């Protein structure tokens, strides 16, 4: 089966397509609308957005206009990182549903263990509150799966120790060179599916000489090597693109990187991402 049609089965039985379209930094309006529409037209059935991306309305509109039945598309959104209360999470979820114009959501994640403006802040109590609100929405049938994003093993321990449901998903930055071994091992042990955001290192990884060399060997593009690498590490990559040719390229990953080449890629170390 082609990679674009493969899925992970979450611990509650829900199927999560392995490749999703990322929409971080995709502008609301035409850009988000057309990216999502192009992805769906080309076989993607998994779209990742967030309240914080401010493009939920365009994402929802594209999904409606695609003509594909809603239940055939897996849609994720995320609770804004500064919302760390039970009531706040319930309210924010209603806003997300309204913006998307949906009756239900497939996956809702706590976007980060701390507000983006206060990285590292101890929000353990607030994360438990927010997750408990998500549990209640899950039980009410408003969300098919619940999870977290950017959570370390310590952040996950906090949820496992104080909440009822083990998160179904942890979405983390993951790409060639970024060491996420401890988090991935923790997730495997607790049957939490790992989603890989920024699988191309927001594009910077594509200039890596060793990745370019590997791509030439397989006669594919560096982007395809990066995405295939995430799949072979049993994570669900969420590449972002606003260009149709790239959206198509990013799902054409039906080749196998040999173990010796995976080992070669494993030796690449570091985070090439730069923010202007
Ligand atoms: P664009 O949206 O203009 O196509 P990541 O998914 O790691 O966050 O990376 C996203 C970045 O990589 C974006 O700048 C995107 O640009 C670019 N990108 C996505 N797919 C490809 C591709 N197949 N080839 C080259 N650049 C790509």
Q: pLDDT value at position 65?
A: 98
Contact indicator for 5, 21 with CB cutoff of 8 Å? no
Catalytic residue, candidates 33, 44, 53, 197 = 53
Report which of 174, 116, 121, 171 is spatially closest to residue 148, judged by C-alpha positions: 171
CA of 32 to the centre of ligand 1 (A): 14
DSSP state of 242: S
Q: pLDDT value at position 129?
A: 98
Q: Give the model confidence (pLDDT) of 72-131 as tens digits.
A: 999 999 999 999 999 999 999 999 999 999 999 999 999 999 999 999 999 999 999 999
Domain that holds residue 214: 3-274
Q: How confident is the model at residue 265 (pLDDT cuts 50, 70, 90)?
A: very high
% of the chain beyond a pLDDT of 70: 100
Strand-pair category, 143-149 with 105-110: parallel
Strand-pair category, 193-197 with 169-173: parallel
Model confidence at 186: pLDDT above 90? yes
CA of 177 to the centre of ligand 1 (A): 17
Q: Give the model confidence (pLDDT) of 153-170 as tens digits.
A: 999 999 999 999 999 999
Report which of 176, 167, 169, 244 is spatially closest to residue 207, judged by C-alpha positions: 176
Model confidence at 198: pLDDT above 90? yes
| The residue to which tokens 């039970």 are assigned | 86
Q: What is the mean pLDDT of the chain?
A: 98
Atom 17 of ligand 1, nearest CA residue: 203
CA of 216 to the centre of ligand 1 (A): 19
Q: How many other CB atoms are there within 10 angstroms of residue 144's CB atom?
A: 21
119, HSE (Cβ side, Cα atoms, 13 Å): 4
Model confidence at 134: pLDDT above 80? yes
For residue 234, how far is the Cα from the chain centroid? 13
CATH number of the domain that 116 lies in?
A: 3.20.20.100
Q: How many other CB atoms are there within 10 angstroms of residue 27's CB atom?
A: 15
Residue 83 has which token pair?
A: 């919302």
Contact indicator for 153, 182 with CB cutoff of 8 Å? yes
Q: pLDDT value at position 275?
A: 81
Residue 253 has which token pair?
A: 């990953």
Which residues form the pocket of ligand 1, taking CB atoms under 6 Å from any ligand atom? 22, 198-203, 206, 221, 223, 239-243, 246, 249-250
Model confidence at 223: pLDDT above 90? yes
Residue 180 has which token pair?
A: 């996420």
* Stretch 241-262: mean pLDDT: 98
CA of 202 to the centre of ligand 1 (A): 6
Model confidence at 276: pLDDT above 80? no
Report which of 61, 36, 32, 55 is spatially closest to residue 47, judged by C-alpha positions: 36
pTM of this structure: 0.98
Atom 1 of ligand 1, nearest CA residue: 241
Structural domains in the chain (count): 1
Atom 12 of ligand 1, nearest CA residue: 203
Ranges of beta strands (E only) in the chain are 7-9, 15-17, 21-22, 46-48, 74-79, 105-110, 143-149, 169-173, 193-197, 236-238
Contact indicator for 106, 143 with CB cutoff of 8 Å? yes
> Of 171, 196, 226, 239, which is best to mutate to test ligand 1, by the most ligand atoms within 8 angstroms of its C-beta?
239
Model confidence at 38: pLDDT above 80? yes
Q: pLDDT value at position 222?
A: 98
53 a catalytic residue? yes
Atom 26 of ligand 1, nearest CA residue: 203
Distance CA 62, CA 136 (A): 29
Contact indicator for 152, 113 with CB cutoff of 8 Å? yes
Distance CA 267, CA 32 (A): 35
Q: Give the model confidence (pLDDT) of 12-22 as tens digits.
A: 999 999 999 99
């Amino acid at each position: 089966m082609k990679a674009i049609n493969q899925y992970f089965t979450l611990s509650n039985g829900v199927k999560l397509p392995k490749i999703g379209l990322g929409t971080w930094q995709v502008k609301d309006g035409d850009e988000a609308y057309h990216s999502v529409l192009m992805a769906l037209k080309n076989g993607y059935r998994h779209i990742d957005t967030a309240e914080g991306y401010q493009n939920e309305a365009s994402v929802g509109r594209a999904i409606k206009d695609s003509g594909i039945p809603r239940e055939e598309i897996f849609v994720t959104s995320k609770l804004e990182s500064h919302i760390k209360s039970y009531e706040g999470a319930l309210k924010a979820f209603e806003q997300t549903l309204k913006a998307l114009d949906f009756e239900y959501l497939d996956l809702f994640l706590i976007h980060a263990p701390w507000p983006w403006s206060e990285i590292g802040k101890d929000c353990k109590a607030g994360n438990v509150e927010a997750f408990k609100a998500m549990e209640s929405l899950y039980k009410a049938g408003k969300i098919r799966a619940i999870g977290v994003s950017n959570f370390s093993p310590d952040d996950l321990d906090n949820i496992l120790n104080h909440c009822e449901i083990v998160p179904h998903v942890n979405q983390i930055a993951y790409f060639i060179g970024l060491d996420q071994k401890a988090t991935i091992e923790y997730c495997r042990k607790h049957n939490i599916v790992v989603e890989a955001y920024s699988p191309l290192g927001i594009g910077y990884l594509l200039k890596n000489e060793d990745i370019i060399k590997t791509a030439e060997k397989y006669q594919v593009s560096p982007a395809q090597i990066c995405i295939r690498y995430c799949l072979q590490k049993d994570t669900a990559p969420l590449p972002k693109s606003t260009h149709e040719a790239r959206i198509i390229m990013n799902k054409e990953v039906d080749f196998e990187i040999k173990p010796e080449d995976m080992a070669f890629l494993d030796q690449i170390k570091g985070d090439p991402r730069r923010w202007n």
